[in-house]
Structure 1
Amino acid sequence: MKKVKRILALAGAVLLFCMYASTLVFALTDRSQTMGLLKASIACTIILPVLIYAYTLVYKVTHHDQDDDDTK
């Protein structure tokens, strides 16, 4: 279970890095459609970590008994 958590954490970190990089690229380019992409990228960099945090909270609450069995 720990390997799965580490892989998911790494995937989330890579995804966040890509979103931050795309936000920077969209902010520096000057095209007509870039403003919409910049707004979407900023929204995703805020919404995605919040959703991941909420998912982990729900997972901890719903699988609390199973996690105690894995630690032994």
Structure 2
Amino acid sequence: MLFGDHEVLVLGVTPFHLHGVTYSDVVVALPDRTVLQARLGPESVPDGLLPGERVTAMFAANMVVQLRRP
């Protein structure tokens, strides 16, 4: 079970609008090549996030809850 902060590689970012708010579906890979998906609100995704970036992912109960640049 993953908790805390882990470095991940961003594989994909797909923004979408819902009720006037921009959310993002993100796909990230852990160093062991495990691929995870998350749907995050604007407060949890750095502005201008692009595939190929290495970022820090905050995990709670095996779920990505926030991405941030180191």
TM-score bin (small chain):
under 0.3
More helix per residue: 1
Q: TM-score, normalised by structure 2?
A: 0.24
Considering Cα pairs closer than 8 Å and 6+ residues apart, tell me whether 1 or 2 has the greater RCO: 2
**Alignment TM-score, normalising by the size of structure 1:** 0.24
